[in-house]
Chains A and B, each alone.
Chain A
Amino acid sequence: MTESALGVLKVLDLSEGISGPYCTRLLAGWGAEVIKVERPGHGDCARSAGPFPDAGPHQEKSALFLYLNTGKKSITLNLGTTTGRHLLVELAKDADVLVENFKPGIMHDRGLGYAALEEINPRLVMTSITAFGQDGPYRDYKSSGIVGYAMGGQMWVCGQPDRAPLNSAIAIPEYFGGLYGYASTMLALRYADDTGRGQQVDVSILECLAASHQFTLTWPAYSNSLLVRPGWPGFRAPLSFYACKDGYVNLRLQGIEMPFLAFLLDMPQLADDPRFQTLEARSENIKVLEEIVAGKLANMSKKDVFRTAGEWRALCGYVATPEDLLSDPQYLAREFWTEIEHPAVGKLPYPGAPVKMTETEWWNGRAPLLGEHNEEIYCGRLGYSKDGLVRLRAYGII
């Protein structure tokens, strides 16, 4: 692993949930040693979030935790105790990176703010990912996925015009926080390599969202106009979803090539039907065309439609379920899935490297059990004896 991009890096991961852990998942994947510091007892809050196997919740069986924490080590540490904070400082002395997503001020209140850590390790990069950032009027406000999606401007444009705005329900805000967190960590590491100085990076998830869309901000800025629901997909050239016999596809009928559509639907007469030949004529008769398309697609398979469209170089997507994804020929051909064995849940397919790099290997380790590496780190790294470890445990520090 020394030949890898991050092979010599030591990362202390105090984060939990999704944003920080996705950042450190990428660090671990590209070869860094990531030591995850968890609260004794419950550990990372993701351990109590699902999905779980049918048998129900179990702290070693959360799909969310297992996915986000591949390739990391886990130690337990109670940062509410003096000894716990002392141990963290010991670990921070030779760390390159510390990632945390506590509410702003918590690290400082525990004597673990950047100014304090910088004194013992001037090269340390501290990546702080929070909902609203380290300052400003909403700094101490509570957030959640739906709040981030709402305030970043994404939710207002999502959904139907005559219904309430629609949350994505997937963890887009948190993942954006993790991704910007990763980029900022790499930027700060480069700066540390150049100058010998570390720094704290303030990543605000609200700003990650506000920086990651199009039209929503530029339209009001340029012409005081607004993108409205249903947002981009309905924007002037609608991409419509049609029901097939086994799910959904989306097609853009406005600009579609009629010979392709004629072939797809096995209706040769469509190819030169005057009602659809020019863009103007098609706009006038779009309802007729939609009816024809919807009627035919209802008896076809979504994957067949998608493949035929792709071969004709026509824009189309099919709505893939997890089951579809795990058997999708493209994902299989590119070996995107990787089987990982875990003592609590056995062997399961995981998403592997998010991108393929020819020189930097992606590391597919499993997620750690809670406190699995206490002995390795406290005894092996910090020199505690086995008895010392027992005492730390008895005092509730680990």
Chain B
Amino acid sequence: MSVSESPLQKLRVIDLGRVWSGPLTTRLMADFGAEVIKVESLAGRGVFSGPTSRQATLSEEFPDHDPGEYPWNRSSMFNDLNRNKLSLTLDLSMPEGADIFKKLVKISDVVVENYTPRVMANFGLDYAALKTVREDIIMLSMPAYGMTGPYRDFPGYGNTIEPVAGITNLVGYPGDRPHPLGMIAGDALAALHGVGAVLTALRHRRLTGKGQYIDLSQAETQTSIIGEYILGYGMNGKSPERTGNRHPWKSPHGCYRCRGEDSWVVIAVSTDGEWRNLCAAMGNPPWADDTKFADQLSRWKNQDELDVSIEAWTVQRDHYEVMHILQKAGIACGPVLNGREVLNDPHLNSRGFFVNITHPESGTHPYAGVPIRPSRSPASFRLPAPCLGEHNREVLGGLLGLSDAEIASLKAKKVIGDTPPDAPVT
């Protein structure tokens, strides 16, 4: 698969995204053939996106726990979210940096950023400024709460935005207090709404010749996946209850312990027919004949007791084994997989979901691939995540035509570089 057949061929994207949401937005574009240039400040691979000093390594994971000589190039999270991209370092607070950025915008199609709203304006690089450089530029800003409104300048990460967006209120063990999601959903929700909006804007540009500005509030994109609860409240004035592993009407519906340490399976039974199949699959135990479990409503009312009996069966078995037994009986069921198990899952591997990527400073590791498989224009994996400033020369000299002397002068002035300012002396 060559890049020339990719749907985003010839598209140039500038990625100012930090941490997770912004980089994931542009990763999807890069995977489908766009040339994505990450514009990074030298100190920009911060706590979450790749530490700049050995002290910060506490909050990251490195190959075999070893930060190595250049930890900012060995961050698992950064390397995961930034494959297929180029890295250009640029200090946008310096006039030379902002000037080069504008030259790059002139030959680009899309700019993606997830700073707090003041940052781009402070650099003199907001949409109004970039539009004077490139009339049809498409710019996506994705701050926590949007570019306007009273919370505009409030900081936020996925796990502080999810409560405000209404998600956390719906999560928790029944009868217990709200519980944060173990894995933040917010960043990916912002990224996916963001990439959808950029692709929509590209189509708009193709039809009309016009670029545009996309103002994405991460909170609003999160609230967009709980619309039914908001509308439900509008209808009946009732705040939804936290159901945890229970379901409003399905039963049994829950998470059951299996053989082995911290090993679990989930089972969701929707109909009386499925219930009979479940009983048969468990060997028709006598307790299952109790009238307490005879129909859906009775099972739902007596689910505490039901769950104990089901768990007595699952706990003797491996979680995958339970899935195969029950799925063969036509019941929705699956193991609760930890990260290692996801990486080894036979189904995901048989579909070739994981891609092995070799990074010059981190080695070879499997990474999650792309969950979108167009039959004619699939994603491609061309480059590992870039080392800091790895493509300075290629972008500045090759794309923008700067001379060696000009590039050397930028380096001397610390507009560009390849080592964070607080890096330890080695």
Asked if B200 contacts A5 (CB within 8 A), the reply is: yes
B94 at the A interface (CB under 8 A): no
Asked if B339 contacts A230 (CB within 8 A), the reply is: no
A239 at the B interface (CB under 8 A): yes
B260 at the A interface (CB under 8 A): no
For A233, what are the chain B residues with a Cβ–Cβ distance below 8 Å? 159, 180-182, 184
* Contact mask for chain B residues 224-250; partner A; CB cutoff 8 A; 1 contact, 0 none: 111111111111101110111101101
Q: How far is the CA of A215 from the CA of B368 in the complex (A)?
A: 11
Asked if B236 contacts A53 (CB within 8 A), the reply is: yes
A68 at the B interface (CB under 8 A): yes
For A5, what are the chain B residues with a Cβ–Cβ distance below 8 Å? 200-201, 203-204, 207
Asked if A184 contacts B374 (CB within 8 A), the reply is: yes
A208 at the B interface (CB under 8 A): yes
Q: How far is the CA of A74 from the CA of B148 in the complex (A)?
A: 36
Asked if B225 contacts A170 (CB within 8 A), the reply is: yes
The stretch that binds B, out of A79-87, A104-112, A192-200, A260-268, is A192-200
**Nearest chain A CB to B265 CB, angstrom units:** 8
How many of chain B's residues touch chain A, expressed as a range? 35 or more
For A137, what are the chain B residues with a Cβ–Cβ distance below 8 Å? 346-347, 350
A102 at the B interface (CB under 8 A): no
Q: How far is the CA of A136 from the CA of B373 in the complex (A)?
A: 14
Interface centre among A132, A194, A334 (most CB of B within 10 A): A334
Given A233-B180, A359-B201, A155–B233 Cβ distance below 8 Å? no
For B367, what are the chain A residues with a Cβ–Cβ distance below 8 Å? 217-218, 221
Asked if B155 contacts A315 (CB within 8 A), the reply is: yes
Asked if B234 contacts A222 (CB within 8 A), the reply is: no
Per the 8 Å Cβ criterion, residues 341-394 of A in contact with B are 345, 348-351, 354-360
Asked if A333 contacts B235 (CB within 8 A), the reply is: no
**Nearest chain A CB to B202 CB, angstrom units:** 7
The stretch that binds A, out of B189-197, B296-304, B392-400, is B189-197
Query: A52, A227, A248: which contacts B163 (Cβ < 8 A)?
Result: A248
For B46, what are the chain A residues with a Cβ–Cβ distance below 8 Å? none
For B64, what are the chain A residues with a Cβ–Cβ distance below 8 Å? 222-223
Q: How far is the CA of A179 from the CA of B153 in the complex (A)?
A: 27
Asked if A239 contacts B180 (CB within 8 A), the reply is: yes
Asked if B365 contacts A201 (CB within 8 A), the reply is: no
Q: How far is the CA of A158 from the CA of B158 in the complex (A)?
A: 15
Asked if A187 contacts B374 (CB within 8 A), the reply is: yes
* Contact mask for chain B residues 19-60; partner A; CB cutoff 8 A; 1 contact, 0 none: 010001000100010000000000000000000000000110
Q: How far is the CA of A287 from the CA of B47 in the complex (A)?
A: 25
A-B contact pairs, 15 of them (CB 8 A): A6-B200, A30-B200, A52-B236, A148-B334, A150-B336, A153-B183, A175-B189, A186-B203, A205-B371, A213-B188, A221-B367, A223-B63, A243-B177, A329-B150, A355-B220
* Contact mask for chain B residues 211-226; partner A; CB cutoff 8 A; 1 contact, 0 none: 1111111011101111
Asked if B162 contacts A322 (CB within 8 A), the reply is: no
For the A-B complex with A221-B366, A236-B59 known, give 11 more contacts whose Cβ atoms are closer than 8 Å: A51-B238, A153-B338, A164-B245, A176-B192, A207-B370, A210-B348, A216-B183, A232-B158, A334-B220, A354-B197, A355-B214
B185 at the A interface (CB under 8 A): yes
Given A144-B268, A199-B375, A330-B149, A51–B228 Cβ distance below 8 Å? yes
Query: B80, B159, B163, B345: which contacts A151 (Cβ < 8 A)?
Result: B345
* Contact mask for chain B residues 254-274; partner A; CB cutoff 8 A; 1 contact, 0 none: 111100001011101010000
The stretch that binds A, out of B167-175, B401-409, B417-425, is B167-175
